[in-house]
Homo-oligomer: A and B are copies of this chain.
Amino acid sequence: MQQATTLHALDAIGLSEAVSEVLAAAAGSPRSLAPGERLVEQGEVSTGVCLLLSGIVKACRNLRDGGVQTLALYTSGDVVDSLAYVARRATATIAAVTPSRVAEIPAARLELLMETHPSIARALWRSTAREAAILQEWVVGMGRRSAHSQIAHLMCEIVLRLRLGGPNARVHRFPLTQAELADIAGLSAVHVNRIVQGLRADGLIELGRGWLRIQDWDRLIEVADFDPWYLGIGVQAVDRAG
């Protein structure tokens, strides 16, 4: 069953079942994380690559003045912070948002695997690329979108990317607090609250503790200026020859 979870997870990053099995075999025994528990501390030397088997995990940067900026969200099947592997040091702290399970593949073992299975190296590259694409979208949101639009955009992205249910679902699980949304958006929690109320008043969403109902997906997308295309980057193997 453990095995099955791992395989399902790796599916998402575009590896064949056979290769996924190889990778799963290389992973150490899974570790469980409670909400808020930290997996990696920023600045730490990276010892390998982490696969997220279940749950939701975030990467955030802690500033000198006490401020926090979230830099990434991960869901089951994601490679957690592939950037840290390339950089050989973590640029951010990794912490669990919901109860989660992760499995680590030590660097040395991964190096060998990538030599024999180039598709694994490609999959990790795609992971990094997807992260970069999402960061680009966040930069656009923070720089050039109104806070309303930015929060709406984040809601669209999070619901789709964390696979909390398709646009057709009536109510989505939504494990982020308003304060956590603020850490992502670079806004204050108070302001996020007011924006959420605005979106509610406009009949676009309803947001409760742990859930989100998108009442008018079309108008939300309109407000957010949301194009889901970028979420597809790297989720499946690309065969250029074909």
Where the two chains meet, the residues of A that have a C-beta atom closer than 8 Å to any C-beta of B are 61, 63-64, 67-69, 71, 82-83, 86-89, 91-92, 107-108, 111, 114-115, 118, 121-122, 124-126, 128-129, 131-133, 135-136, 138-140, 142-145, 185-186, 225, 229-230, 233-234, 238, 240-241
Contact A68 B144 (CB under 8 A): yes
Name the one of B87, B140, B142 contacting A133, with C-beta atoms under 8 angstroms. Answer: B87
Name the one of B125, B185, B186 contacting A125, with C-beta atoms under 8 angstroms. Answer: B125
Contact A240 B111 (CB under 8 A): yes
Q: In the complex, which residues of chain B have a beta carbon less than 8 angstroms from the beta carbon of A145?
A: 63
Q: Choose among A63, A114, A140 the residue with the greatest number of B CB atoms under 10 Å from its CB.
A: A140
Copies per complex? 2
Q: In the complex, which residues of chain B have a beta carbon less than 8 angstroms from the beta carbon of A92?
A: 136
Report the separation of the CA atoms of residues A118 and B64 in the bound assembly, to the nearest whole angstrom. 40
Least CB distance, A137 to chain B, in whole angstroms:
8
In the complex where A69-B143, A140-B63, A143-B69 touch, is A83 in contact with B133 (Cβ < 8 A)?
yes
Q: In the complex, which residues of chain B have a beta carbon less than 8 angstroms from the beta carbon of A68?
A: 144
Report the separation of the CA atoms of residues A108 and B238 in the bound assembly, to the nearest whole angstrom. 13
Q: In the complex, which residues of chain B have a beta carbon less than 8 angstroms from the beta carbon of A107?
A: 240
14 pairs of residues in contact across A and B, judged by CB atoms under 8 Å: A61-B136, A68-B144, A71-B136, A82-B129, A86-B125, A86-B126, A86-B234, A86-B238, A91-B136, A92-B136, A121-B122, A128-B128, A132-B135, A139-B142
Contact B87 A234 (CB under 8 A): yes
Least CB distance, A185 to chain B, in whole angstroms:
7
In the complex where A111-B241, A143-B69 touch, is A133 in contact with B91 (Cβ < 8 A)?
yes
Name the one of B71, B131, B136 contacting A140, with C-beta atoms under 8 angstroms. Answer: B71
Q: A83-B233, A143-B186 are in contact. List 6 more A-B contacts (CB 8 A).
A: A67-B144, A86-B233, A108-B241, A128-B128, A139-B186, A142-B143
Report the separation of the CA atoms of residues A61 and B132 in the bound assembly, to the nearest whole angstrom. 14
Contact A129 B87 (CB under 8 A): yes
Q: In the complex, which residues of chain B have a beta carbon less than 8 angstroms from the beta carbon of A87?
A: 129, 133, 230, 233-234
Report the separation of the CA atoms of residues A133 and B83 in the bound assembly, to the nearest whole angstrom. 7
Q: In the complex, which residues of chain B have a beta carbon less than 8 angstroms from the beta carbon of A111?
A: 240-241
